[in-house]
Structure 1
């Protein structure tokens, strides 16, 4: 009995009293409130940090990456100076002369064909296609372009559309010198706009303005009509909708993937050893971009024509677009990112931000209620 009494007393001593239990619970609740208050205090900082990370991940797709300087010592600097003299003093004048001569020959042949053969559309189209291909070849020669094409050359047939990743407007020129594509392109001002209206419309190109919502409906209708024509030039679309710096691919628009026809992926990869071919249209004009290419040593590029793809049963156009983007990214060695390229031009509206804020109001009220 003495042993049992001793055991009971030891258990009673180890068990906390009601006052101690309530005090521990009070301390625990106070700690939770302090932790919640600290988290709420740093939430703006966390929000800014997360926003900076997201913004950095997005803007990284649209930044030019300047090459590392190699003329940093007394041995390499003279060679660099010699290269500058050759590129700007010899190559650039020769390239400008070549380009000017090419334009003279092109206009001398194009306008007579365009206006004198109006009643012979078949022959006029065929000659205009060859002239456009020739002029694009002159452009490529003016950069000393070294282009390697892989896969079968595209042919003219209905119910097909070609889609490619987009680094610069020269993507179109590089592809056009091999096949006279009809491209979907943003309207441009200046001499580029003049070429669009007077020359490229002859090969069936379609222009749009991304700020006009009506243009989207018109372009969608023209796309369907173009893919039905047996004699129309192959249709080329850059579904990213903007130029990306050839390290990433952004989200593909689904328009090209809901036409119900074959989608032929084209992967383009530029070699940055001689020049960065990315056109940052927000910081430089296309004329400046061409000047940069024409004062470089060469433009080196690989183009892969991949196997035609068809939408699978039960597959949505968005899933189809992602599957094709996977193929292009893997073939060209590009990283996929989940961003919409139009965010390069359009930021979310204040109304959308306010709407998202209102959705978070009940959660904020609940947090404040628990804190009190």
Structure 2
């Protein structure tokens, strides 16, 4: 039997290595190196680049803001698993049908009186609240409200952290608001157009650049109306997983109004109320809530804030964000939530590629 020659194996491995010279233009100074051909293994120490890439993957605080964080499993043993199975049966075959019936009953009452409701919705807040109670009851909402609610005055803007579309329902059942919200397709969009617009809600489409100017104009017009419902704005602009808070958009803080911060914190003891709109539709999210034991959350009405002399709208927004984050126990991160809906800029990628190419050339010239 022929024995393997380690030296010949090493030679074969080196021959398999690509020549760096093959990737360089003719006349490059590297070609005149007297020490012979350079191999890829002699190119450079890539540990700094690898460290940067690994750090970006492991400690990406931006992506962590929009991921559901699963709770620790508790039912995978012989004692608790039967109880968990019993709970599944109760949630899906007892609670869920009862909640569907309750929600259907509420919709029947609403639709049978749609015209008078539509005419009176702006004036009769009690009627509106009774309708929204059916939504909260359909997922057994256990909501605790803390602090005195600010009195309804003109030129007020309410701002809150954003976890799901149910944030609006949780706050709306206690106080009349006109919300600023992303336009949605399907049956949610139908509700926006036919029902929620009657309370003065304003919709936008983040993919349309012109919508920003239109929404800014509508905001200024709305706060000037004495009879309009106060604005409710989620300045983050997207749903965050209730563990972090991303940058607040400055639009709500440059209207010259009193800003009333509202902090919302959901308890994951029964269900995670975070809506990951990139992975699930609102229908699926609502089904998840309706098949849980309950949706538990706390709402804090915090002290109204006014812009200080010399304070910019961005600084004002960050100060209010810090107040809300501290009360709700959220970690502040310096990211724009709209990056969730966009890909990295080509200029950013080209800049990284250019930096890496410069590093390669410098190392080649040092050889």
- Secondary structure of the residue aligned to 1:319 is helix
State the match for 1:126 in structure 2: 123
- Residue-pair matches, total: 326
Q: Deviations over 1:155-178 (max 9, x none)?
A: 332111011000000000100111
Aligned pairs (5 A) from 1:243-258: 243-258=239-254
Indicate the RMSD between aligned Cα atoms, in angstroms.
Answer: 2.2
Unaligned segments of structure 1, at least 5 residues: 1-36, 118-122
Secondary structure of the corresponding residue to residue 62 of structure 2 = helix
Q: Gaps spanning 5+ residues in structure 2: where?
A: 1-41
What is the Cα deviation at residue 367 of structure 1?
4.8
| CA distance in structure 1 between the partners assigned to 2:348 and 2:218 by the alignment | 32
Residue 216 (1) aligns with residue 208 (2)? no
Distance 2:150 2:112 in 1: 28
Superposition map of 1:1-372 within 5 A: 41-53=46-58, 56-114=60-118, 117=119, 125-127=122-124, 129-354=125-350, 367=362, 371=366
Task: Give the drift of 1:316.
Answer: 1.1
Shift of 1:49: 2.3
SS in structure 2 at match of 1:125 = coil
CA distance in 1 between partners of 2:49 and 2:357 (Å): 18
In structure 2, how many angstroms separate the alpha carbons of the residues matched to 1:50 and 1:214? 37
**1:293-345, CA deviations, whole angstroms, 9 ceiling, x for partnerless residues?**
11111111100010111111111111111111100010001111111111111
Partners of 1:329 and 1:46 in 2: how far apart? 31
Q: Which has the higher helix share?
A: 1
Q: Is the 8 A contact 1:156 1:231 kept in 2?
A: no
Conserved 8 A contact 1:110-1:131: no
The structure-2 alpha-carbon separation of the partners of 1:51 and 1:361, relative to structure 1 and needing over 3 Å to count, comes to closer
Secondary structure at the aligned position of 1:243 is classed as coil
Give the match's secondary structure for 2:342: coil
Alignment check: 8 A CA contact 2:260 2:301 kept:
yes
8 A contact 2:220–2:255 mirrored in 1: yes
Moved >4 Å (runs of 4+): 37-40, 355-358, 360-370
Deviation at 1:112, TM superposition (A): 3.1
Deviation at 1:144, TM superposition (A): 1.1
Further displaced range: 227-236 or 360-369: 360-369
**How far has the Cα of 1:135 moved from its partner?**
2.1
**Is the radius of gyration larger for structure 1 or structure 2?**
1
Structure 1 residue 365: Cα displacement: 10
* Residue 361 (structure 1) shift: 9.3
